[in-house]
């Protein structure tokens, strides 16, 4: 299989470009680094174009740009932005490695399908995220960081005023922003909003998050609730009980009315995201307020009534369901993923 006598492993990457996906699983820089380690690369033609990496860039780095069929047939291992579809799995050969976020915690049927096909699944989500030495390899760490950055930029673009205080021709007060969920995406959103000049407040059920929020210069929202066991497995927030969710929703709804921008980032991998802001909370926001729901999906989102895309409520609130934000920064996101 190897393309040259020194190569021992062939790594393949497919073109995953779609309406919502612009990232690529391997960048030319990493092709060069793999080559030094005796790993040659096969790239499907056009795989990196949407992320501003041309076929010529890959060829100069030492990769072979070829057809999808050849990548599937010749690669020893394949890396993915999104896990391969059933159609793609059916074209793979027993013994090939499939590397990516495979949903192994919540989708046993998919894992079983890989096993049945004789494939070796490398589930990146099973890296121990609490270990700093593993985070450079963790797709969720890197991609959620990009998502949080882009969420803040998206909110700033949609908001009809300045984020910082301006005093050039009269005084414009700074925007007040609330970030719900202070994990990797939330912390990046906080930092970006602060750099843009907003007054930022944040909330998370994990007790440890208060210090992280305050270290970025933001305030921690006091809901008067104690979810002292808010830390879940693997560094994720645990799913709250129905009673805890109701208490949290009521408290957030009440506090939300004072903010101009709300960004929600609370995902529970593979499950329906928790509702952090109800329809009543959205209704209580002032006209012109902006909500960016990073957890929006076919299963729902952190905001009641949110859907993928942008909508404006009867009260003039912009509600943006934006699960594909990392793809909107495709060059950097691909580099980190690769």
Residue the block writes with tokens 């560094």: 235
Length of the chain as a residue count: 338
321: helix, coil or strand?
A: strand
| pLDDT the model gives residue 2 | 43
Closest CA to 225 of 199, 251, 257, 201: 251
202: helix, coil or strand?
A: strand
| pLDDT the model gives residue 5 | 47
Q: Are 65 and 93 in contact (CB under 8 A)?
A: no
| pLDDT the model gives residue 43 | 98
Give the chain's residues under pLDDT 50: 1-5
Residue the block writes with tokens 């495979």: 102
Percent of the chain with pLDDT over 90: 71
Residue the block writes with tokens 């930022």: 200
Q: Are 218 and 177 in contact (CB under 8 A)?
A: no
- Residue pLDDT, tens place only, 32-90: 999 999 999 999 999 999 999 999 999 999 999 999 999 999 999 999 999 999 999 99
Angle at 173 between CA 185 and CA 250, to 5 degrees: 50
Q: Are 111 and 117 in contact (CB under 8 A)?
A: no
Residue the block writes with tokens 């690769």: 338
Phi, psi torsion values for 252, nearest 5 degrees: -65, -45
| pLDDT the model gives residue 227 | 62
* Distance separating alpha carbons of residues 329 and 238, to the nearest angstrom: 29
The DSSP letter of residue 274 is: P
Residue the block writes with tokens 């890959």: 58
* Distance separating alpha carbons of residues 91 and 75, to the nearest angstrom: 12
From residue 118, alpha-carbon distances to 87, 115, 230 in Å are 15, 5, 38
* Distance separating alpha carbons of residues 205 and 207, to the nearest angstrom: 6
| pLDDT the model gives residue 239 | 65
* Distance separating alpha carbons of residues 88 and 156, to the nearest angstrom: 39
| pLDDT the model gives residue 236 | 53
The DSSP letter of residue 150 is: H
User: How many Cβ atoms from other residues are within 10 Å of residue 240's Cβ?
Assistant: 19
| pLDDT the model gives residue 147 | 96
Burial of 116 (0-12, 13-18, 19+ CB in 10 A): exposed
* Distance separating alpha carbons of residues 328 and 303, to the nearest angstrom: 22
Dmax of the chain from CA atoms?
Answer: 71
């Amino acid at each position: 299989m190897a393309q040259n006598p020194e190569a021992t492993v062939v790594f393949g990457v497919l073109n995953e470009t779609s309406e919502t996906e612009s990232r690529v699983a391997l960048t030319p820089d990493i092709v060069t680094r793999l080559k030094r380690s005796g790993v040659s690369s096969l790239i499907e033609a056009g795989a990196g174009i949407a992320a501003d990496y041309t076929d010529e860039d890959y060829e100069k780095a030492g990769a072979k740009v070829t057809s999808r069929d050849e990548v599937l047939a010749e690669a020893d291992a394949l890396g993915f932005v999104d896990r391969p579809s059933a159609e793609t799995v059916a074209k793979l050969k027993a013994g090939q490695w499939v590397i990516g976020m495979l949903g192994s915690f919540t989708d046993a049927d998919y894992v079983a399908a890989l096993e049945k096909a004789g494939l070796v699944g490398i589930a990146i989500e099973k890296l121990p995220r609490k270990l700093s030495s593993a985070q450079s390899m963790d797709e969720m760490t890197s991609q959620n960081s990009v998502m949080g950055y882009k969420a803040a930029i998206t909110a700033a673009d949609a908001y009809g005023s300045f984020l910082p205080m301006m005093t050039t021709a009269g005084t414009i007060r700074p925007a007040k922003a609330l970030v719900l969920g202070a994990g990797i995406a939330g912390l990046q959103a906080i930092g970006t909003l602060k750099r843009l000049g907003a007054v930022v407040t944040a909330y998370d059920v994990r007790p440890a998050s208060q210090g992280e929020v305050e270290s970025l210069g933001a305030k921690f929202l006091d809901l008067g609730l104690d979810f002292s066991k808010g830390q879940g497995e693997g560094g994720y927030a645990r799913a709250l009980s129905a009673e805890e969710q109701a208490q949290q929703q009521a408290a957030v709804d009440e506090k939300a009315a004072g903010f101009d921008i709300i960004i929600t980032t609370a995902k529970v991998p593979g499950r329906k995201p928790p509702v952090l802001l109800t329809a009543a909370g959205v209704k209580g926001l002032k006209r012109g307020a902006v909500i960016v729901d990073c957890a929006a999906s076919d299963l729902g989102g952190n905001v009641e009534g949110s859907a993928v895309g942008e909508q404006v409520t009867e009260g003039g609130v912009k509600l943006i369901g934006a699960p594909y934000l990392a793809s909107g920064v495709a060059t950097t996101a691909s580099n980190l993923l690769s």
